[in-house]
Structure 1
Amino acid sequence: MAIREMTAKQVAKKVMNKEELFILDVRTEDAFQDWKIESASFDYLNIPYFDLLDGVEEILDQLPEDKDILVVCAKGGSSQMVGEMLEEEGLTNIYSFGGGMKAWSEHLEPIKVNDLNNGGELYQFVRIGKGCLSYMVVSDGEAAVIDATRMTDVYADFAKELGVDIKHVFDTHLHADHISGGRQLAELTGGTYWLPPKDATEVTFEYAKLEDGENVTVGNTTIDINALYSPGHTIGSTSFVVDNQYLMTGDILFIDSIGRPDLAGEAEDWVMDLRETLYTRYQELSDELIVLPAHFMIMDELNEDGTVAEKLGVLFNQNHGLNIEDQDEFRKMVTENLPPQPNAYEEIRETNMGKINPDDEKQREMEVGPNRCAVR
């Protein structure tokens, strides 16, 4: 008999609410060290599944009696088997993680950021297992989506719940760490797909050119999404100032770090573009703008309400990447502190260009692993 399951949504709520949970992760040690469900309020034990095939008796004294225990594996099969073995030993606080880490990678949690000045709302979609952030701007029956993931049904269904039509879909840049759902979402909804042309020189599809100074109105309440050319992560990276309140920085600036310039093999060439964007273009903007990035690196970047957001002025004071006066020191910091490349990043870039079209299962495999868009 199958044991009880926790869904990715239920676990995400526990992470955001800082609830206690004991994780028994039965993947290999390398897989666990590379990427896991993260929360400061969780306890962890990593015992590979193959070490438990002869029985779970030896780990019973390492498991708590006063906390729920969530057994985690890659896809949800091994966790069921280990969970059943634990229940046979008399444990009653066991759950299997439904869908495993693949489900964790794909879960999106929509959170309202705030109301907008002239009516309308702004939502952030937190892809908690992958560190991706995407957005929906809603006004007077219309919506725009920024940096959509490949789980396009989530945005379409959410727009339907709100009773709005998605008219515009934007990508701040050509993504390399995850597969964009922007083009597919635009096709699904009949919206316009916008992409910076300097990132689109090799794409195989038609798109609207997102260029510096572009204004796009969503609804009748005139929410302007102003394009701000901000190269550095990619040569075409473009930021948005939304409703004169929010700066959507893509993968240029994060809450606790800055973007990496090497995912197209151009770190040495693009590092000073990155510096000019951060130290010149962004310095000219209002300190009161609230930065909404396309990724977060660590769970500490989440606010109490689950959103990832902070005023630009605060980041200029607190983000180390914005406080390196010497250009040579900045170049060294950016080029010598790069994390490993994202899994399958070249294939992901080719997918986002439309050059290859992997099936759904292949796309899942390509995206498995942590977010690696930032300089450490």
Structure 2
Amino acid sequence: MSKPLKPQQVANKVLKQKPLFILDVRNESEFQDWKIEGNSVEIINKPYFDLLEGVDHILEELPKENVLVVCAKEGSSIMVADMLDEAGLEEVYYLEGGMKAWSEYLEPIKVGDLSDGGELYQFVRLGKGCLSYMVISQAEAMIIDANRMIQPYLDFAEDHGITIKHVADTHLHADHISGGRKIAEEVDATYWLPPKDAPEATFHFESLEDQKEIQVGNTNIQVEALYTPGHTIGSTSFVIDNQYLLSGDILFVKSIGRPDLAGKAEDWVGDLRNTLYDRYKDLSEELLVLPAHFGSMEEMQESGIVGKKLGELYRDNKGLQVENEQEFRRMVTENLPPQPNSHEEIRQVNMGKLNPDEDRQREMEIGPNRCAVSE
């Protein structure tokens, strides 16, 4: 019989670049839109409906052992995995919970130490390319750009004896549902949000204003808010401990943020340019840029961290090398990928205007993030 492999086990293989062969049995359009990726991952797509009468015709395309079968929710992959096992393959696995579970798994990775003993962690959502952060000092924490699945943050805090005091979003997200407000309510923390992004918010939040300093712990670790519009009108970056720049969806390792998810591309592209070519230019090139998303595994360091120094990005990131303003406008507006699934509904949820059930929230988020301008 085939055996289950948990999302955490798959993530471990991807992050540590261990060989992983995947047979994805979803339909071709779903596979092309979104799949498990990694430098050590080999993957093929054979739709489940083409395998109902047997798997003999695909055996030559598979290794003799260690095959992971993947489907949307688990059921189809179990059936195909069992068929492969009966056909004589050894060590056949299926992804427990399917791509639904893969989409929701968060892997915490330590980025580095802060002054006076603090730490910064990056929570990597491999299945959707989302990145969130936990700043820790003196057993207190601040979470930035939390995902909808709040339990991993709560469990991490409890396991490490940490009290969550602050939660913030760098902007009003359109690709995924924020867990920030829910975490704040759960642990009685302060929730921060850029007011320009949430004029219609139905809930209370503290205004994340330019140059606002948020103290975490009793040390000199400060989270300094920096108004950096462009992806949204309220987009706010964070400078943490004079070491790290949390750029939200303004700047990525290989691209730059898109300005159109609220239908304001022509209006906001100028703000985007000012942030990238002026405001960020005033910052130290030694700051490690830590974005809210990544588009491919190429953006990930060997440690699993997604990030790169600001000076290196000004040298290597093509989106930061278009000096002519009209060329920049053209590059941004002509290279916009399809908008994220259900992006307008997600914005409404993040403003508190919609409250869909858990299954609908999960459905709204399925698929890749599309927050960057195409390369």
Q: TM-score, normalised by structure 1?
A: 0.98
Task: Work out which of the residue numbers 216, 219, 222 in structure 2 matches 1:218.
Answer: 216
TM-superposed deviation, 1:119: 1.7
TM-superposed deviation, 1:324: 0.4
Q: How far apart, in 1, do the equivalents of 2:97 and 2:9 lie?
A: 13
Alignment of 1:200 onto 2:198 = yes
Q: How far apart, in 1, do the equivalents of 2:348 and 2:42 lie?
A: 39
Q: How far apart, in 1, do the equivalents of 2:338 and 2:20 lie?
A: 29
TM-superposed deviation, 1:309: 1.4
Q: How far apart, in 1, do the equivalents of 2:66 and 2:41 lie?
A: 10
Equivalent position of 2:36 in the other structure:
37
Equivalent position of 2:169 in the other structure:
171
Equivalent position of 1:276 in the other structure:
274
Task: Work out which of the residue numbers 234, 237, 240 in structure 2 matches 1:236.
Answer: 234
Mapping 1:19-58, distance limit 5 Å: 19-58=18-57
TM-superposed deviation, 1:60: 1.1
TM-superposed deviation, 1:89: 1.2
TM-superposed deviation, 1:113: 0.6
Equivalent position of 1:227 in the other structure:
225
The gaps in structure 2 that reach 5 residues or longer are none
Q: How many residues align?
A: 374
Q: Identity percentage over the alignment?
A: 65
Which SS does the other structure have where 1:228 is aligned?
strand
State the one-letter code of the partner of 1:105.
S
Q: How far apart, in 2, do the equivalents of 1:153 and 1:93 lie?
A: 31
TM-superposed deviation, 1:3: 2.2
Q: Deviations over 1:66-107 (max 9, x none)?
A: x51000000011000001111111212210011111111000
TM-superposed deviation, 1:43: 1.5
State the one-letter code of the partner of 1:202.
E
State the one-letter code of the partner of 2:75.
G
Q: How far apart, in 2, do the equivalents of 1:287 and 1:87 lie?
A: 54
TM-superposed deviation, 1:40: 2.5
Equivalent position of 1:354 in the other structure:
352
Q: TM-score, normalised by structure 2?
A: 0.99
Q: How far apart, in 1, do the equivalents of 2:116 and 2:211 lie?
A: 21
Alignment of 1:288 onto 2:249 = no
Q: Deviations over 1:217-263 (max 9, x none)?
A: 01001211111000000000000001111110000000110000000
Which SS does the other structure have where 1:114 is aligned?
strand
Aligned-CA RMSD value: 0.8
Q: Deviations over 1:285-322 (max 9, x none)?
A: 11111101101111011111100111100101000000
Equivalent position of 1:60 in the other structure:
59
Equivalent position of 2:339 in the other structure:
341
Alignment of 1:5 onto 2:4 = yes
8 Å contact kept, 2:115–2:220 = no
Alignment of 1:129 onto 2:127 = yes
Q: How far apart, in 1, do the equivalents of 2:171 and 2:66 lie?
A: 41
The gaps in structure 1 that reach 5 residues or longer are none
TM-superposed deviation, 1:154: 0.6
Q: How far apart, in 2, do the equivalents of 1:45 and 1:321 lie?
A: 32
Q: How far apart, in 2, do the equivalents of 1:227 and 1:176 lie?
A: 21
Alignment of 1:153 onto 2:151 = yes
Q: Deviations over 1:98-123 (max 9, x none)?
A: 11111110000000111102221110
TM-superposed deviation, 1:160: 0.7
Which SS does the other structure have where 1:43 is aligned?
strand
Which SS does the other structure have where 1:68 is aligned?
strand
8 Å contact kept, 2:244–2:290 = yes
Q: How far apart, in 2, do the equivalents of 1:44 and 1:169 lie?
A: 38
Q: How far apart, in 2, do the equivalents of 1:6 and 1:268 lie?
A: 46
